[in-house]
Each structure stands twice: as structure tokens, then as C-alpha cells.
Structure 1
């Protein structure tokens, strides 16, 4: 393995989570007696450029050809997208907005409402079809430099190019950066949102490591990668989404835009945490082990006390957690999810049944383990009835905590 950004072969272990199945390959009942493929989940840090990364063991086409994640099932995420559109329109006054990995149109629907021309590029056929059904023009394809050139030739340069929660999913970092630059007008904007490695380390968010996330970004590594593509990082926002994210605002070289003080401030914060040297990446594995031990101990004690434990949500991150911790139906009877695609299926590796949310309310378990902890406030509001039968909601990250429904 060599670094996909700088080509160095000086890669050190960041955290090794064993081997797991791909986190979004949910099983049908017919799959339960068949073997599952598993792949190492061993993240490493490049000692030369400090990019944290996984080897590209899985072809993205295997993951994203048909995808189980639909952004619109989270109302808070749809509202977050609307606010981003407001900011981008005020900043850029766009005539054309292109979103990469546009999912089911959760963001571009707000662009359409403003009467602004837009185009989504979404590799998953089933998710892209959902976007087209709501009127969002969508190309079903993976973005690469050739496709970017075709889109620009047909639709013209984009004033705003959005890439929300996709920058971690791209094994060809250099080619993806080149494609973003091709899509953007010479005076345009590229807006990227991605989880911030700094908060991932500080809060022990190891469950966001899974095979479809090929790398994990600091502002420092992202700035270097964008520069390789002819894009200059000019602003950054710190966001609470996904447990702590960064919104990167970049412009093509030659616009004359200078970086804001926010860029310098976040870089200084990363340096203060030690993330400007390889030594700053040690110690994460020990915290991960402590989180696992606390959760498993809690579930075993609940089981021995005769308490029934169920889950809420079946996100990709939850499957990393369940597999690393070795949690199976003896400790977590089932989980529920808003997404109908997952109903009647089973979690990969751990094979925990997934039901519709109404099942939870009918069953009334003693404990509900909230797997998408990044939506804890939204979910706690949805699960207010749990308090009526004396149930408890629990999250495992950043530490084991009982929260009030």
C-alpha cells in the first residue's frame, strides 16, 4: 500500500478494526445461510503527508451500484442542505449548481425551488431514480475527469459545485479533484463537506471508519489535495453534522481570493492537537478499545438482568460498531429504521433483524441503543414515547451515556 495522495510508502497503523463485511450490504433472509465476504478494516496514516486512509479493497461500483442510504429520511439533514443552499446562493449568485453524489435530490430540490438550473451526478441507480422522481435532473454515473468534461461541454461551467459527504468515498483523490476543477467555472466555487478527522479522534468516532470511506480529512490534508487539482482553499466552516464536519470553500487558482482567518484558525487548532505530525495520530486505538469494552459490558449486564435491548437505526456506522464489538442478536434483539429498503433485512456480519419503527413501539424494550448517534437529538424527540414504559435510550460514542427520551 502506498499513499493515494503523495505516493509515499511510509504508512503507520492508525487503528485496526479487524475484518468486516461492507457496511451497506444488508442481507435478505435468503442470504443468511450463505457466506459473506469480509475485508480488513485497517486504517493507516501517511507519515509524509498525514492523510489517514484505508486501502481500496472494494470497487466503488460494488458499493454504490445499488445503495441503501437515502438522505431525505433525515429531516434535520434536509434542513441542513437548505441552509447550505441559502449561503451558496448569497455568496455566488449561481446560474448553474452541480452536485456530486447528489443522492435522492435532498439538496438540489432547494435549488430547483429557487428557479436555479441544476444537475445531480449520482452513481447509485436506485437513489438517482428517486431524485428524478422529485424532478431533480440527475446523471447516473461516477464522477471522473472524462465525465466532468462531458458535463461541462453539455451544460456549461458550474458557478457552484457541491460535494457533500463524498470526499471520503473517492479512492482516486487526484482524479476527483481534477474533475471538480473541470466542473467549476473559472470564477466559481467548490463546496465540500466531510467529517473532520480532528473531532473523530477527540470523540472516539471509530464507527465512521468503513470500507466506503477511503480516507479521513483534516483541513491541512484537504488543502494539499485541493492545491494538487488547481483549487485554492479560501474559507472553512466548522459544522456539528456527523459528529463534527468541515465545510471547505475552494476557488480555482487565478481568482485572487485570499484565505480567510478561519482557515488559519482551524489549521492552528489541528496543530495544537498534534495532527501536524505523525505522533498526533497515536493513542486513538486505545480509546476505541475502551468504548468497545464499556458497551459490551453494559449489554452483557443488561442481558444477565433479563432486560430486552433493541436498536434504533441501521446506519453504515452502526455496522462497524456492531461488528467490531461482536454484538449479535443475543445482545441486541433487533433494530428499526425509517428506510423501507432495510425492512425485513439483516445487518451485515452480525445478522441482526431490521424492522419498521412501529415494531419498537409495539415491543417496548427496556433499552434502546441509538446507533446513529450523530442524530441523537432528532431521534430522542422521535422516541419520546419510550419514557412512557420506563425505557432507556443509550448511545455508545463518544462514551456510554443514557439519554432522556
Structure 2
């Protein structure tokens, strides 16, 4: 296999076995689903970390159930990101903002009062319909060079294009960047927010590996990718959201561009920390977490304790399927999203129930598969009057709250 950024040879970093698409919930336990390999590769030439086997768009999105949750944590993050963009004059009140992978439009809705125009583009039909019903104009399509031509004809040139937690969700980032460079004028900005490879490695976040996440970007690999398209980084900001994210601000190369000192600072930090030894420890810790959590859950089940998972998340499905946990060990999965409730997690066959159902019949333990919302979930459970259930946190190491 070769690197999908620079075409150099790659080697296997981590093999998590096979799993169905992580966001494809089942309507019944009997529903058949194909499983596909989850193998992570690394390129020594440009530093790219990628998924070996990429599913086609139809397989990933035909039964897509991820809806951006309404969350205090996310709302604070939207404020943080908006403040950063306005403070640095990347956004102004005259900006036309286009967001790729805009989902139900929560971020666009957040900034809409403060800019001139917002438009979203998202490939999931049902998700796009929800956004449009909320008043966020959303085109249902995949973003690439072809769709960028249609967007330009319909809406003109955006001043800023956002790709938040979706840029890694396509097997060929070159196609997306061709669309971006076609749509943006020479002074336009492309803002990419993604899980950051350094955080993934340092915090043992192997559950971030699933079929939608085809790339695991570092500053080094992002620079290599952008350079191919005559673009470069002009700023970087870090965020704790989703276990550690990075926001890249990029634009077409120009002699007048001012490069923030943050680019050099974070590049140096990454070079010091993202080493072969760090990757080795990440792999070792992945297997350690699997063994520890498997023994803990099995012991609790054999002792007669009830266990639910909290969060019908993609990362949660990677965790359950890699460890081999099923509805035999986990009674239910609790999730606040109505369209997920009553369905079943892929491969593990755990039924998804509402928070209200969980409150009526609480478990002895919650396994926090949505561990990135840990504090919010714990507070919600306690405020609902449940003071007895304990919480198992699997990442960055297995422990009980």
C-alpha cells in the first residue's frame, strides 16, 4: 500500500480487526451488516497516518445516524472557535461562510447572527433536511471539485470555508482541496478542525479509529498535503473538544501572508513528542486497555452487576467491537438522540434506549463510550436523581469514577 498524500510506501501501525461502519445502527438484531478491516498505516516520508481500507461513500452514509448533539460543551466550543476567528479577523460581519459536512447546522446557526451569509453542504439526506427545516440553507451533496462548481454558480465565492471534523472523512483529500481552491478567491481562508494525531497517540484514543476517519492528521502531514495544492498554514489553535482537536487555518500561498507564531511553536512541539517511541507506546497501551476492560466487564457481569454504555457513538462502537463486548455483557446503550433510540449498535447488538428509560431502571455501571462528554453526562445522571450508578471511563486508561 502507498500513502494517499505523497504516494510513498506505508507500514502497518495498528490492526483493530474488523467492524461494520460505526455510525450505521441496525433496525433489528437480526439485520445483516458487512464488517470491514480497521487497519492503521503510517508513512515515514510525510508523517501521514491513514486507514488502509476506505469504504465508498454509499456504504458509509446510506444509513447515517450521527446528529451533532445539543450540548453545553459544544456550545462553549462554538463560542471559543467563533471568538478566535473574529479576534484574528478571519471572520467579519461581512463574511460569507460555507461549511462542509455541516450536519444539522448547529455551528452555522451559532454564527449566523454575526456574519452576512451562511451555507452548509452535507451528503446525508435526512440530516440536510433537518438543517433546512431549521433555516440553515444546506445543499445535500458531497463536497468536491464538481460540487464546488455548482456552489460557486449558485452562491458565489465564500470568504471562508470550514471543514469541521469531516476533512478526514474522505479517502482522497486532494479532491476536496481542488474544490476548495476552485471556490475560494485568492485571499479566502480554509479552516479545518480535526482530531489531532498527537492527542490521539498521547491519550491512547484508539477508539477514534473507525471507517469515517480515513486520515489522522498531524501538522507535518497537513503541511505536506496543502503544499501540493499551493496552500500553506497561516495559523493553528488547539482545543480540548473531542479528546483533543486542532484547528488549521490555511490559504493559498502569497508573499503578503502573515504567518502566526503558533505555527512554528506547535510544529516544534509536535516534532519533539510525536516520535517512534510514542507510536510504540500507543500500540502497547491499546492492547493493555483491551485486556483490562475485557476482564473488568466480564468480572462485573459474572458478579451479577448490570452494565449499560452511555453514548451510541462511533468511537464507542470501535471500542465494543475491538474488545468483543456484546449484548451478553452490556444490557443497553443510553443515548439522547431520538433517531438512534430503539435501534441496535452494529455487531454488538446492544439496544439503544432513551435517558428517561435509563433513569427509570438505572444500571450498576455505565461504561462511558462518549467519554469526551464525561463531566456533562455524570452531572446529568446525578441531577436526574441517580446517585448509585458508577461510571467506567475507558480512555486514556481504564478507571472507575
Q: TM-score range by the shorter chain?
A: over 0.9
Which residue pairs with 2:139 in the alignment?
A: 139
Provide the secondary structure at the position in 1 that maps to 2:54.
coil
Which residue pairs with 2:360 in the alignment?
A: 362
Cα distance in 1 between the residues matched to 2:345 and 2:375 = 24
Give 1:298 deviation, angstroms. Answer: 1.1
Which residue pairs with 2:74 in the alignment?
A: 77
Provide the secondary structure at the position in 2 that maps to 1:171.
coil
Which residue pairs with 2:148 in the alignment?
A: 148
Give 1:38 deviation, angstroms. Answer: 0.7
Q: How does 1:5-404 map to 2 (within 5 A)?
A: 5-8=5-8, 10-29=9-28, 32-90=29-87, 91-92=89-90, 93=92, 94-114=94-114, 116-254=116-254, 256-275=256-275, 281-385=279-383, 388-403=386-401
Question: What per-residue deviation string (whole Å, max 9, x for no partner) do you get for residues 278-333 of structure 1?
Answer: 66533422110001111111111211222111111110000000000001122211
Give 1:99 deviation, angstroms. Answer: 0.5
Task: Sort the Cα spacing of 1:60 and 1:255 in 2 relative to 1 into closer, same or farther, 3 A.
Answer: farther
Provide the secondary structure at the position in 1 that maps to 2:126.
helix
- Alpha carbons 2:39, 2:53 under 8 Å: kept: no
Structure 1 length normalisation: TM-score? 0.94
Give 1:57 deviation, angstroms. Answer: 3.3
Task: Sort the Cα spacing of 1:189 and 1:141 in 2 relative to 1 into closer, same or farther, 3 A.
Answer: same
Cα distance in 2 between the residues matched to 1:109 and 1:96 = 13
Give 1:352 deviation, angstroms. Answer: 0.6
Cα distance in 1 between the residues matched to 2:298 and 2:69 = 35
Cα distance in 2 between the residues matched to 1:387 and 1:319 = 28
Cα distance in 2 between the residues matched to 1:270 and 1:254 = 25
Give 1:16 deviation, angstroms. Answer: 0.3
Cα distance in 1 between the residues matched to 2:159 and 2:62 = 28
Question: What per-residue deviation string (whole Å, max 9, x for no partner) do you get for residues 148-189 of structure 1?
Answer: 122123322111111100111021111111212222221121
Question: What per-residue deviation string (whole Å, max 9, x for no partner) do you get for residues 218-272 of structure 1?
Answer: 0111111112222210110111011011001112212622322211111111111
- Alpha carbons 2:202, 2:278 under 8 Å: kept: no
- Alpha carbons 1:45, 1:281 under 8 Å: kept: no
Cα distance in 1 between the residues matched to 2:79 and 2:278 = 36
Q: Number of residue pairs matched?
A: 398
Cα distance in 2 between the residues matched to 1:271 and 1:215 = 19
- Alpha carbons 2:95, 2:115 under 8 Å: kept: no
Cα distance in 2 between the residues matched to 1:198 and 1:27 = 33
Q: Find runs of 4+ consecutive structure 1 residues off by over 6 angstroms.
A: none
Give 1:388 deviation, angstroms. Answer: 4.3
Cα distance in 2 between the residues matched to 1:273 and 1:227 = 23
- Alpha carbons 2:121, 2:139 under 8 Å: kept: yes
Give 1:209 deviation, angstroms. Answer: 0.1
Cα distance in 1 between the residues matched to 2:81 and 2:385 = 35
Most deviating of 58-67 and 159-168: 58-67
Give 1:62 deviation, angstroms. Answer: 2.2
- Alpha carbons 1:16, 1:285 under 8 Å: kept: no
Provide the secondary structure at the position in 1 that maps to 2:212.
coil
Structure 2 length normalisation: TM-score? 0.95
Give 1:357 deviation, angstroms. Answer: 0.8
Give 1:132 deviation, angstroms. Answer: 0.4
- Alpha carbons 2:359, 2:386 under 8 Å: kept: no
Task: Sort the Cα spacing of 1:330 and 1:249 in 2 relative to 1 into closer, same or farther, 3 A.
Answer: same
Stretches of structure 2 that go unaligned for 5 or more consecutive residues are: none
Cα distance in 1 between the residues matched to 2:98 and 2:197 = 26
Most deviating of 254-263 and 360-369: 254-263
- Alpha carbons 1:366, 1:392 under 8 Å: kept: yes
